[in-house]
Amino acid sequence: MWVVSHAGETDEKAILDSSASKHSEKPSQPPIPKKRASRLSIILLDQGLFTVYKRLFIVSLFLNVVALVLAATGNFAYARNRASLFSIANILALTLCRSEAFLRLVFYLTVSLLGRSFVPLRIKTAVTSLLQSLGGIHSGCGVSSVAWLIYSLVLTLKDRDNTSTAIIAVASAILSLLCLTSAAAFPLVRHLHHNVFERVHRFAGWSALGLVWAFIVLTISYDPISRTYTDNLGSKLIKTQEFWFTLAITIAILLPWLTVRRVPVDVSSLSGHASLIKFRGGVKSGILGRISPSPLSEWHAFGIISDGQTSHMMLAGAVGDFTKSLVSKPPTHLWVRTVHFAGLPYLVNLYDKVLLVATGSGICVFLSFLLQQSKAEVYLIWVAKGLDDNFGSEIVNRIKDYPHQDRVIVHDTAILGRPDVSKMSVEASKKFGSQVVIVTSNPEGSRDVVNACKASGVPAFGPIWLFSCVCKASFFCVWLFSDNLFFVRYSTMM
């Protein structure tokens, strides 16, 4: 039942008596507003020193550094002779960590194999943390790929007589593009100029991939004795690991683009603060989708609302140029990727009892679990302002039609003001006996709920606001090589 319903409707039975009474009483004196940290400061500085994301970053980087040291000191001959292969292998690893098709399969297998009652909760939460933090491997392998390429280039320059100018030029161009991609992924750039990050990451990445193919062809076909390029390239290519690794990278990058389509949409402006975008075709719960006005320039991810049958919707808060344009100039068609991707919400079915906490338009990520039959017993807290005015009766009624109203808490801040969402979440998780809490909110809200629940002994997960390549560009590597020794110097914001 609802703790607080939309305007004009009286409260029914409170699920959490303490929370309900607290939020239904008006304070005698206005509370002193708590100084809120900026979104950017939380993203940059307030993420914790030993998150799983950072641990994965450190582990992946450390393993590569150890291999580099062994190679440079003559104790790992294979790596010394195949340094470019190690760079390509790292690029393959970072690509798979961001491949939506590959991760969709990984998430599906995870839920299928581990989403059983007899699997210990500790294993489930550990796997959830791992899958949610794969960006740490992505970033660590990104830095490592640059390091291996630098090492390969240095070795090549020391042995110029056995290589060609073209090979050196292509390798240098690849290195420049990787460094440009890393610089564009710096958190400050990505947060303040997201479109710049996205375009540089995409086009520089594609260009680098094309040059990797050129590099492989040139290095395999070049004969240092005759200083010419041989013709029997095909038979040599298929025998090299570099070829197969690069082919896998190409397929992983190409797959999502093969599913891009321009589809009709019905966009309704619920208010000046949000829009509701409707599409044809049902979608499973826990799935997210991407839409774009121009597929080569920008893509935007949203949670999907669907009953799993004939249609699905996205609720887009008007916070950026694109989402504001959906309100001011509703389009009739949008570009979509027809194969949707899995994220943290998909792992709800890994557990038996889950408390979902959403603020504002974050409800779109979780609403499908109320509309479709779920393996997990789902409970919901939704905190938002002006439910009917800002989100429309269609969204509100879908929640009210949920047959298990005793599992739903809705708080309208337009009526009762801003609640302590962290306290509500802790109390609700204990009341419902939830195994885990999953929250979607702004950076500060997500952090507070996750920390409060963990402090009370309940595992909790929320969005990771450390961007996928947050640590890449924070490293500045200067490599000094001699015959048997090199040093790695770096500075980091971690």
Note whether 242 and 266 are same-domain residues: no
What's the pLDDT at 231? 77
Tell me: do 158 and 201 sit in the same domain: yes
Provide the 3-class DSSP secondary structure of residue 463: coil
CATH code at 306?
2.40.30.10
The residue from 272, 307, 342 where one domain ends is 342
Residues 405, 358 share a domain: yes
CA distance 137 to 141: 6
Q: Each residue of 12-43: b (16+ CB within 10 Å) or e?
A: eebbbeebbebbeeeeeeeeeeeeeeeeeebb
Sort strands 333-337 and 260-264 into parallel, antiparallel or unpaired. Answer: antiparallel
Does residue 485 lie in a domain region?
A: no
In a domain, 244, yes or no: yes
- pTM (2 decimals)? 0.84
Query: Which single residue is written with the structure tokens 């400061």?
Result: 41
Last residue of a domain, one of 258, 275, 295: 258
The C-alpha atoms of residue 305 and residue 66 are separated, in whole angstroms, by: 46
Amino acid 466: pLDDT:
53
Q: Are residues 371 and 223 in the same domain?
A: no
Q: Amino acid identity of 47?
A: Q
Per residue of the chain (494 residues), give pLDDT as tens.
Answer: 455 543 334 333 444 334 433 444 444 444 444 555 555 555 555 556 678 998 999 999 999 999 999 999 999 999 999 999 999 999 999 999 999 999 999 999 999 999 999 999 999 999 999 999 999 999 999 999 999 999 999 999 988 888 899 999 999 999 999 999 888 877 777 777 778 888 898 999 999 999 999 999 999 988 887 888 887 787 888 899 999 999 999 999 999 999 999 999 999 987 778 899 999 999 999 999 999 999 998 899 999 999 888 899 999 988 888 899 999 899 999 999 998 999 999 999 999 999 999 999 899 999 999 999 888 999 999 999 988 888 888 899 999 999 999 999 999 999 989 999 999 999 999 999 999 999 999 888 999 999 999 999 999 999 886 543 344 333 333 333 333 333 332 222 23
The SS3 of residue 367 is: coil
139 shares a domain with 76: yes
In a domain, 468, yes or no: no
The verdict on residue 272 lying in a domain is: yes
In 251-327 the beta strands, taken as DSSP E runs, fall at 260-264, 266-271, 274-280, 287-292, 300-303, 305-306, 311-317
268 in the same domain as 279: yes
Pick the closest to residue 174 from 218, 202, 214 (CA basis). Answer: 214
Inside any domain, residue 492: no
Residue whose token pair is 């996928």? 468
Q: How many residues does the chain have?
A: 494
Co-location of 331 and 371 in the same domain? no
Collapsing DSSP to helix, strand or coil, 432 comes out as helix
82 and 198 fall within a common domain:
yes
Claim to verify: residue 89 and residue 205 sit in the same structural domain: yes
- Block residue for tokens 């998150």: 51
Q: Are residues 427 and 320 in the same domain?
A: no
* Residue from 177, 254, 245 nearest 213 by CA: 245
- 340, 287 in Cβ contact below 8 A? yes
Domain at 394, CATH number: 3.40.50.80
Q: Phi and psi at residue 300, in whole multiples of 5°?
A: -130, 130
Amino acid 253: pLDDT: 95
Is residue 26 in a domain?
no
**How many domains does the chain divide into?**
3
In what helix (H) or strand (E) does residue 454 lie, and over which residues does it extend? helix 443-455
Parent domain of 452: 17-21+345-461
The pLDDT of residue 213:
95
Residues 67 and 204 in one domain: yes
Q: Is residue 140 domain-shared with residue 150, that is, in the same domain?
A: yes
Of the residues 291, 316, 342, which one is the last residue of a structural domain?
342
Position 470 in a domain: no
Q: Is residue 487 part of a domain?
A: no
pLDDT given for residue 467 in this prediction = 46
Rounded to the nearest 10 degrees, the angle between the axes of helix 194-221 and helix 241-258 is: 150
Contacts of range 317-325, beta carbons closer than 8 Å, 24 or more positions apart? 317/273, 317/274, 317/360, 317/361, 318/272, 318/273, 318/274, 318/275, 320/194, 322/293, 322/298, 323/275, 325/293
